[in-house]
Amino acid sequence: MSQEQADLLPLPDEVDPQRRLLISAVLAGGFALAVQPVTAATIHTDSDGLVAGWHKAGPDLLLYAARPAQGSQWPVVLVVQEIFGVHEHIQDVCRRLAKQGYLAVAPELFLRQGDARGYPDTATLIANVVSKVPDAQVLADLDACLEYARVLGGDSTRAAITGFCWGGRITWLYAAHNPRIKAGAAWYGRLQGQETALTPRHPVAVAPQLKVPVLGLYGGKDSGIPLDSVATMKTALQQGSSGSEFVVYPDAGHAFNADYRPSYHAPSAEDGWRRMLQWFRRHGV
């Protein structure tokens, strides 16, 4: 039995029963709030030619991974979720990346705080789960995922990160945290915010010290991330030497890549995806 096959087996009996219930819920399906209403534009990427599925990298680390069925030593892309967890859309993003020759790894980053599924509205989800997740925990989990990617046959010396909304902010922070990754692509991630014990720094604060080149993909009609916030981030980046860049799509709002939601803006999403792949390859991933 391979290590990969072993990691897909049930967790040992000593795993906390509450944690076991959370893991079972994650494996059972998606988050209804995130995927309703499903739009006609929803993209489904099949698993033909891929190995895709869930892995238990430890009691507190559950991840979805997709990779080509043939070969090994694939470049690695860490995929960071929205607030809704690793539901079908994020899994599909992993499969899309795998079709491009990557090992894509998406960890369930809220597992210690609770299950994102079943909440009636985003405000309750944020209050009960998302707001309780420390940045330090997230960054450590991503470090562990990058290490685990080697178990799955990935080449962690050629690694990038991408994330959406909540995960877009984390993309900037992880690029500052781990200068060994080659590139990042942040989709409409918040750039500024209140400093707290759990979220002590935001992207604007880390921008001057950033070494990893990050491509920021943002919507000109995003009411939650105004253009003056993007301008502030650009100014902060100019104080450093990361070579990061922004693309702002004037006709797109927030979550323009979320093809399962009415916010989806196909021209911007398709162009952003193309630019992201070019960005990764340009920087050796």
* Residues whose CB is less than 8 angstroms from the CB of residue 225 and which lie 6 or more positions away in sequence, other chains included: 188, 189, 190, 191, 218, 219, 254
**Mean pLDDT to the nearest integer, 83-94:** 97
Average pLDDT over residues 58-63: 90
Higher pLDDT, 214 or 35: 214
Amino acid in position 112? R
254 catalytic? Reply is: yes
Looking at residue 115, its pLDDT comes to 86
User: How much is the pLDDT for 38?
Assistant: 52
Whether pLDDT at 6 is above 80: no
Is 115 among the catalytic positions? no
Of the residues 92, 115, 135, 222, only one is catalytic, namely 222
Of the pLDDT bands very low, low, confident and very high (cuts 50, 70, 90), residue 158 is very high
Asked if 110 contacts 116 with a C-beta cutoff of 8 angstroms, the reply is yes
Where residue 58 falls among pLDDT bands split at 50, 70, 90? confident
pLDDT at 59: 84
Angle ∠(206,104,15) on CA atoms, nearest 5: 90
Please give the pLDDT value at position 133. 98
- Phi-psi domain of 16 (left: phi exceeds 0; alpha: psi -120 through 50; beta: other): beta
Q: How would residue 117 be classed by pLDDT, with cut points 50, 70 and 90?
A: confident
pLDDT tens readout for residues 220-276: 999 999 999 999 999 999 999 999 999 999 999 999 999 999 999 999 999 999 999
Q: Are 54 and 63 spatial neighbours (Cβ–Cβ below 8 Å)? A: yes
Quick one: average pLDDT of 105-131?
92
Which residues does 97 contact at the CB level (< 8 Å), separation at least 6? 66, 77, 79, 104
Active-site residue identified among 165, 177, 202, 259: 165
- At 123-136, the pLDDT tens digits run 999 999 999 999 99
Scanning the structure block, which residue is given the tokens 């709030």? 33
CA distance 138 to 166: 11
Scanning the structure block, which residue is given the tokens 């509450």? 18
Q: What is the pLDDT of residue 172?
A: 99
Report the interhelical angle of 166-177 vs 135-151 (nearest 10°): 70
Cα gap 281→285, rounded to integer Å: 5
Q: CA dist 237 to 72, 184, 211, 231, Å?
A: 36, 14, 10, 10
Q: Which amino acid is at 108?
A: E
**Average pLDDT for 114-124:** 87
Give per-residue pLDDT as tens, 8-48. Answer: 434 333 345 444 444 445 454 544 555 555 556 799 999 99
What are residue 162's DSSP bridge partners? 79, 185
Q: What is the mean pLDDT of the chain?
A: 90
Cβ–Cβ under 8 Å, residues 192 and 164? no
Check if the beta carbon of residue 161 is closer than 8 Å to that of residue 140: no
pLDDT at 194 over 60: yes
Predicted confidence at residue 34, as pLDDT, reads 56
Residue 228 burial class via C-beta count within 10 angstroms: exposed 0-12, middle 13-18, buried 19 and up: exposed
Judged against a pLDDT cut of 80, whether residue 200 lies above it is answered with yes
For the chain, domains (ranges, CATH) are 3-10+49-282 (3.40.50.1820)
Q: What is the pLDDT of residues 160-193, one digit of tens each?
A: 999 999 999 999 999 999 999 999 999 999 999 9
User: Is 165 an annotated catalytic residue?
Assistant: yes
| pLDDT, position 99 | 99
Q: Are the C-beta atoms of 267 and 254 separated by less than 8 Å?
A: no
